Amino acid sequence: MTVFEPPIDLDRPKEECGVVGISTRGDEAARLAFFGLYALQHRGQEAAGIAVSDGRAVRMHKDMGLVSQVFDSSALAPLTGGMAIGHTRYSTTGSNSERNVQPYVVETMHGPLGVAHNGNLVNADQLRSKLLERGAGLQSSSDSEVLALMLAAAEGDSWEERLANVMPEWTGAYSLVIIAGTKVLAARDPWGFRPLSMGRMPSGGHAVASETGALRTLGCEETREVEPGEIVVMQGELARTHRAVEPKEKQARCTFEHIYFSRPDAVWDGMSIHQVRQRLGAELAAEHPVEADVVVPVPDSSMPAAIGYAAASGITYNEGFVKNRYIGRTFIEPTDELRRSGVKLKFNTLEENIFGKRVVIIDDSIVRGTTSGPLIRMVREAGATEVHVRITCPPIAHPCFFGVDMGTYEELIAHQLGVPEICEHIGADSLGFLSVDRMMAALGRDEGYCNACFTGSYPVPVQLSLATSKKRFDGVLG
């Protein structure tokens, strides 16, 4: 009998994509897009693609794999032009298959159109049905193709006008980069779910990307967020913006960008991710104090929070885990002994920092509860006398419908068990989750964020078909 063993990274929320758009002089836009995607690799490790235009034709290369696996010098050489869009993907809507790899490039009566999308439309099923009724030939199961085909058929005298005309029909999360004619366009949904920023390149031209860290990698200056409901039009070295859709009164930025997804060097909603994570740790120390000897993070995203927890609590900070950052995804089946070892494929302990001590483990989340238990056992085997776990967000009890794979209701341990039961399940001496109020205090905000995965209160109505696909839906629709 074959026993299913969850992948090492299964107990982490999965961000779905990173996008980048480049408009500059010369023919090196694809190479710049490559480095932009490389800086966004953490947002998706299943597929990557770049589409480039010289103003006449759009050429594209995309495939399954990491950015460095999909692209080399020979793959980039034919991609000449001053405009490019790129995408790195983790599958959400649509299975992980070659036909869902982005960008999507389609021929239209106005010329070739390329689209790359970060997010998830909650009305995708309705939009797909309308396209099929009109005779459209859909080739993938992704809502991103639905976006591309709707834009291709939209009315208007320019691509920005067509985009503005179709955006009101889209409900949910979308940060888009588009290549068409002599322009690169970018747009963000009116709720502001997914991040998107723009900057000016010192060599001339502009870039947009999912995170400001990618823009800094490209040397961009004067960076700012693309505002919710805004369209950016980049043409040659020039850029202009205009409001296509009014921002929603209640904004819905994803809190998990601060907690886990974004690189620590990113700026999101005007705040340094690294500093927010330190404040999350400080709030956690105030809400769930414990007598202990050492604070250790689960690397890497929890390190700033552990620093904040240690500083606020007065407990010594030290590293307790060594992470193998190069394990990635492998097709080599581990031996039975390695499979039983579980997370030891990715983590080892620093026994000298743990032995004989009361340990506080700081982590960013518990999703399915498959990783915390093995980590705690490793720490106990390293000689810890007590193991206390502190989590920098509230319990994740509800799925996300806006582009993040949080798992289904049946998979989410916090939907099945209370905190005392989770503590017993993972084998900790104590367990504390940060409350919603304390989490928002760390952000310095009392509104403007989507916390539906914690509260079940969704910022926009969710289709019943989506809800039932997540199993045991009992959240608030709308």
Identify the pLDDT of residue 472.
41
Identify the pLDDT of residue 281.
98
Contact 38, 263 (CB under 8 A): no
309 burial type by CB count under 10 A (0-12 exposed, 13-18 middle, 19+ buried): buried
Identify the pLDDT of residue 464.
43
Long-range pairs of 275-278 with CB within 8 A, sequence gap ≥ 24 = 275/304, 276/442, 276/443, 277/301, 277/302, 277/304, 277/305, 277/308, 277/392, 278/304, 278/305, 278/307, 278/308, 278/311
Computed over every residue of the chain, the mean pLDDT equals 88
Q: For the segment 403-414, what is each residue's pLDDT rounded down to a tens digit?
A: 887 888 998 999
- What is the C-alpha separation between 126 and 146, in angstroms, rounded? 10
Identify the pLDDT of residue 13.
64
Identify the pLDDT of residue 463.
54
**Domains of the chain with CATH codes:** 14-249 (3.60.20.10), 272-469 (3.40.50.2020)
Identify the pLDDT of residue 82.
96
Identify the pLDDT of residue 58.
94
| pLDDT profile of the chain (478 residues), mean per 10 | 37 76 94 96 92 94 94 96 94 59 92 94 88 70 84 94 97 96 96 96 94 96 95 95 95 95 94 98 98 96 96 97 67 52 77 97 94 93 97 96 85 95 97 98 96 95 53 36
Q: What is the DSSP letter of 28?
A: B
Instruction: Tell me which of 17, 220, 400, 423 is the catalytic residue.
Output: 17
Residue 42: which region, alpha, beta or left (left: phi > 0; alpha: psi -120 to 50)? Answer: alpha
Q: Map residue 289 onto helix, strand or coil.
A: coil
Is there a catalytic annotation at residue 17?
yes
Identify the pLDDT of residue 4.
29
Identify the pLDDT of residue 279.
98
Identify the pLDDT of residue 142.
74
Identify the pLDDT of residue 474.
37
Identify the pLDDT of residue 315.
98
Identify the pLDDT of residue 98.
75
Identify the pLDDT of residue 241.
96
pTM reported for the whole predicted model: 0.89
Identify the pLDDT of residue 477.
31
Task: Find the distance separating the first CA and the last CA of the chain, reported in whole Å.
Answer: 44
Separation in Å, CA 125 to CA 204, 462, 465: 41, 11, 8
- What is the C-alpha separation between 404 and 14, in angstroms, rounded? 6
Residue with tokens 């031996």: 335
Token pair recorded at residue 386 = 């007590």
- What is the C-alpha separation between 386 and 398, in angstroms, rounded? 31
Q: Output the DSSP codes for 350-380.
A: -GGGTTTSEEEEEES--SSSSSHHHHHHHHH
